[in-house]
Structure 1
Amino acid sequence: MSVRQIRASLAADPQVGAGNVLSARMALGIGLDQPMLAFDTDIDAIPAWEPITVRELDRRVRARAAALAAQGIGPRDPVVVCADAAGESVLAALALTRLGAIPALVNPRLDAEKASRYIRRLTAVGVLTDERHRAALAGYDTGTPLLPEIGSLGAGDPDAAPPAYRHASQDPVAITHSSGTTGLPKAVVHSHDSLYAAVRYRLALPRPQGSDRLLSALPGAHAATLIALNLALSSHAEIAFLSQQSAAAVLEAIELRRPNGVLGFAATWSDLARHDLSARDLSSVALWWNTGDCAHETHIRHLVAQGSREALVDRRRRRIAGSAFVDGLGSTEMGHSHFHITHTPETDRYGRCVGKPHPFVDCAVLDPAGDALEPFEIGELGTRSPTLALGYWNDSATTYRTRVRGYFLTGDLVYRDEEGYYYHVDRVVDSVELGDGHRLHTAMSEERVLVGCPDVLDCTVVAVREGERVVTDVLLQLAAGADRERDRTKEVKAALEEAVALTVRQVVAVDDSAIPLGPTGKVRKVLLREQHLASLGVAGDAAAEAAR
């Protein structure tokens, strides 16, 4: 059976989903002894970066399933998983779904106080974590018993594992959480079918260039990692998982592993923009694959100038300089990016264009009443898709509040053009009404500043209401060697829309440490607004209003 046949067989089987891809691969009995997966930390007796086969992966998973079953874990039991090592998180998730349990993945970068509150709301049957997080959580009441240390599970007997659980289409197979940039993260529930729907769609397409040997720089405790894992297993593609998403870790791994494709979030591409990529060997990379928030033009251009890809030149397939960058827009709740656009050094459709919807997506730009808007009118993105999560765990109020007329409201402000391309301008919570028909969209303003100011690596626009007027501060993170003392107010204002430029109070160069980030690397703009309100002497109700 060829790779194409493996893909076709899994895509055609309606019983295959996010909860049983590994078992389905084992049942096919093909390609089980080829090196397929690697992790950046030691796993059991397997050294870091040593590739393991599908057969060995199954053995490691069954060992953990046996150990968890011995602890009484079984079908429909939610179990918290929180570990620094991506490999431990991935293997634990696979073992729990094999049992029919529900892994509740918690980002290890979430601070202990917030993590404890989040875990308490899950009402899980146990917490599966590493020594560092066991110590960090010791002073907090999670309301959940600790299970054995996550690294000890590999000592289980693989032959003692119960038979793989048979999932139904709507069975919950994972709980992952939102970024938490506006407060306590929301617990999002994914089903057997929803978390596999986009994978099934991709299996029916030709395997894209750059997807046969992957490096995942996605957070290990994220739905995107589970999707990447299932896609690799279903496509018979090699994949290596990083536990860190920093540029330094990614660059080192690229030079070591020589991947053809790199998966990540916008925060990683932003971090890479701080490095001279021409000084590194990135020639193996044909594809950068972004998910979650869409990426900024300047960061994309920085990446596609590197690497190499195959292209038709004079009717012949040749290797040429420059790579491709697949952008889009997704979220934990959306289950997969719902849009796609591919950038190369030769393309020029930017301006926060997230592309066109995938064929499995039905979306619309909606007004506050839930009615569809016309092209070029800005509204909230509503979407229907088989990839959508079931809702929020233990929070039916939020689940139903985010639905209108059959659409899931993503919290993103977008518009579409007459060709059907969609453009992302901001998050609803970050956009500010200016009056006279004008709004300040922070994300689009940041895009404009980055394009207009070449020595700015990243930018954060903080807008708060001071009485009847809006005051905006523009925080600039500069390239190495840039003059931090030079006043850039004039060029920043020139890059902004006129109504937005009039609100600018100050333009200031800041250190990276001045920008608070959430566990997935997103800027915590709500916290920044609270800090700036405090600096203006505004507190109480105004701060609460700014945080909404």
Structure 2
Amino acid sequence: MTAKNLRAALAADPELGAGNVLLKLREHGAAPDGPGITFDTAVDGRPPWTALTLGVLDERVAARAAWLHERGVQPRDPVAVFVTSAADCFLNFLALARLGAIPALMNGNMPGEYAVPFVRRLRAVGVITDSAHRALLGDEDLELGGLGHVDAAETGGGDPAKAPAHYRHHADDPVAITHSSGTTRVPAAVVHSHASLFAAVRRIRLTEPRPSGVVRELSVLPAAHAAGIITVNQALCNRYELLYMSAQGGEFVHSGAAVLDAIERWRPTGVFGFAVTWAELARYDLTERDLSSVRVWFNTGDSAHEAHIRRLVAAGSHPEYTPEGPVDVPGSRFIDGIGSTEMGHSAFHITHRPGSDRYGRCVGKPYPFAEVALLDLATGEEVPVGAVGHVALKSPTLAPGYWNDSVTTYRTRFRGWYLTGDLMYRDADGWYYHVDRAVDAVDLGGGRWLYTAMSEERILVGCPDVRDCTVVAGREADQVVTDVLLMLAAGADPDVDRAPAVREALGEPAAATLRRIVVVPEGEIVVGPTGKVRKFLMRQRHLAVTGA
């Protein structure tokens, strides 16, 4: 079956979802010697960077399913997966999905102090760990069921021939539990259904035109994230080659050097990452690296900064069609948007190219499957064009709620909408612009607001030698105070007076609250497991320590 016919058959299969992609690929005749997944770590005796074909991937998943089934794992059993490597994460996810169990994927950077209560809340039958994460959990009573603690190194030892038949998922079956980024609180357990976590792949990724030639995708997204599962499923269904990197080189994210090395070695045509990934790459002079294979950069999570996007679209290449045929010319595309674990998939998208000028935290327009409203929560009405409102969403990609936490589930619902926690405005042409998280925006009085995310965007544009920045603003007594924390590009002079540019970026009302501008080492910035800045902790720590 051709790739085109296979994609059409998959898109038309009503039973296909996030939990049974391998099964459906077999049923629809996908070649077993075709693309599976490549990992940068060893897998069951196979060296790092060795491609697992679809057939080998299916066999390795079956081995784990047999091993877990023999130890009593049943349909709808929650099982936590707390590991380092992407291979351990995805192979066990796929095995548990085959059994109809509910894998709860935990980011490997989650501290033990958060991981223990997270697992307890799951009421899991067991937890699959590697040695490093077993140590993080310590001797705490996790209130596990019969499976207990499992070493990830052992799960691949089952007999694939003894794996039970694939569980037949219903659209509403819980197929995975992931967790929020924890930027505003302890990471919450988000449950995804068989249908919701596959909705964007079905409606967009399987129906959009397939690029010509070989497609090779490199993902540096956290494996234990909804975006990671979506990336794997869309690559498998489209029969793309996929390299999934494990965390390496940095405490919270892949180091920029590791990502650049992987691009030069593996020659991907597309790279998937979070906004923090592009900030990491901004450490380096990209003209010194061979990024010519990259045609597209894909961003999700927080929307990316203009200063980082412009550097990336100047790198890479794209085909240009001439009378003599297509030729590769410099310059790539950057597909931006904004998403969250709860949204299940980015609801917005915009494509930047060399010469693009629609920035200012423009996240584009909604995907066809998403219905968006910007609301005034006091009245429940939509705000007018140009006014900032709370983002409300209806989408088939939405997570059904939070696992064992109905209070938080219903707190995010409002008159039939899901409230994302973001603030945006819309222009007259229907383009949406993200200004801040609602919990980070500061009311300056008189209808004026300080939006920290938009302020950071403008500071980076106004200060080219600043690689990244964080605006920390909060109320002390009866006044608002703002500190601007700068992380400089390599070779930048820390003694340069950047105050005029920072004040201009903030605008007059916010600049009046400015207390200080300081160059900080990266250890000063508090981030969550996925690398997002935890601004509520930054406010607590920074404003308390350096109080006016």
User: What's the CA shift for 1:318?
Assistant: 3.1
User: What's the CA shift for 1:3?
Assistant: 0.6
Query: Structure 2 CA distance, aligned partners of 1:11 and 1:191?
Result: 17
SS in 2 for 1:195: helix
Q: Is the 8 A contact 1:210 1:287 kept in 2?
A: no
Judging changes above 3 Å, is the alpha-carbon distance between structure 1 residues 495 and 210 closer, same or farther for their aligned structure 2 residues? farther
Q: Which of 422, 442, 448 is 1:438 aligned to?
A: 448
SS in 2 for 1:79: strand
Task: Tell me which moved more, 487-496 or 255-264.
Answer: 487-496
Query: Structure 1 CA distance, aligned partners of 2:333 and 2:529?
Result: 27
Tell me whether 1:219 sits opposite 2:229 in the alignment: no
Q: Is the 8 A contact 2:294 2:332 kept in 1?
A: yes
Judging changes above 3 Å, is the alpha-carbon distance between structure 1 residues 211 and 224 closer, same or farther for their aligned structure 2 residues? farther
1:154-303 correspondence runs (5 A): 154-201=156-203, 202-208=205-211, 212-244=215-247, 245-303=254-312
SS in 2 for 1:45: coil
1:58-457 correspondence runs (5 A): 58-144=58-144, 146-201=148-203, 202-208=205-211, 212-244=215-247, 245-312=254-321, 317-369=326-378, 370-457=380-467
Deviations 1:169-208 (A, max 9, x none): 0000000000012221111110000000000012111125
1:22-33 correspondence runs (5 A): 22-33=22-33
Q: How many residues align?
A: 538
Query: Structure 2 CA distance, aligned partners of 1:470 and 1:53?
Result: 57
Q: Is the 8 A contact 1:464 1:532 kept in 2?
A: no
User: What's the CA shift for 1:536?
Assistant: 4.7
Unpaired segments of 5 or more residues in structure 2? Answer: 248-253
User: What's the CA shift for 1:313?
Assistant: 5.4
Query: Structure 1 CA distance, aligned partners of 2:355 and 2:212?
Result: 17
Deviations 1:247-267 (A, max 9, x none): 122111111111000001000
1:25-44 correspondence runs (5 A): 25-44=25-44
User: What's the CA shift for 1:147?
Assistant: 3.0
Query: Structure 2 CA distance, aligned partners of 1:398 and 1:120?
Result: 17
Equivalent residue number for residue 52 of structure 1: 52
TM-score, L = length of structure 2: 0.96
Q: Is the 8 A contact 2:126 2:150 kept in 1?
A: no
User: What's the CA shift for 1:351?
Assistant: 0.2
SS in 1 for 2:381: coil
Judging changes above 3 Å, is the alpha-carbon distance between structure 1 residues 449 and 344 closer, same or farther for their aligned structure 2 residues? same
Q: Is the 8 A contact 1:113 1:140 kept in 2?
A: no
Query: Structure 1 CA distance, aligned partners of 2:212 and 2:419?
Result: 33
SS in 1 for 2:150: coil
User: What's the CA shift for 1:533?
Assistant: 2.9
Query: Structure 1 CA distance, aligned partners of 2:132 and 2:227?
Result: 24
Q: Is the 8 A contact 2:455 2:471 kept in 1?
A: yes
Query: Structure 2 CA distance, aligned partners of 1:528 and 1:314?
Result: 57
Equivalent residue number for residue 251 of structure 2: none
User: What's the CA shift for 1:346?
Assistant: 2.0
Unpaired segments of 5 or more residues in structure 1? Answer: 539-548
Tell me whether 1:494 sits opposite 2:504 in the alignment: yes
Deviations 1:323-377 (A, max 9, x none): 1000001100000000110001121100000000000000010111332111111
SS in 2 for 1:132: helix
State the AA in 2 paired with 1:446: E
User: What's the CA shift for 1:486?
Assistant: 2.2
State the AA in 2 paired with 1:175: I
Query: Structure 2 CA distance, aligned partners of 1:363 and 1:313?
Result: 40
Query: Structure 1 CA distance, aligned partners of 2:197 and 2:38?
Result: 22
Q: Is the 8 A contact 1:60 1:154 kept in 2?
A: yes
Query: Structure 2 CA distance, aligned partners of 1:210 and 1:240?
Result: 17
Query: Structure 1 CA distance, aligned partners of 2:363 and 2:35?
Result: 35
Task: Tell me which moved more, 405-414 or 206-215.
Answer: 206-215
User: What's the CA shift for 1:380?
Assistant: 0.7
Q: CA RMSD in A?
A: 1.4
Deviations 1:119-140 (A, max 9, x none): 1111111111111111221143
TM-score, L = length of structure 1: 0.96
State the AA in 1 paired with 2:180: S
SS in 1 for 2:149: coil
Deviations 1:57-79 (A, max 9, x none): 00000000000001100100000
SS in 2 for 1:483: coil
Query: Structure 2 CA distance, aligned partners of 1:139 and 1:197?
Result: 40
Equivalent residue number for residue 541 of structure 2: 531
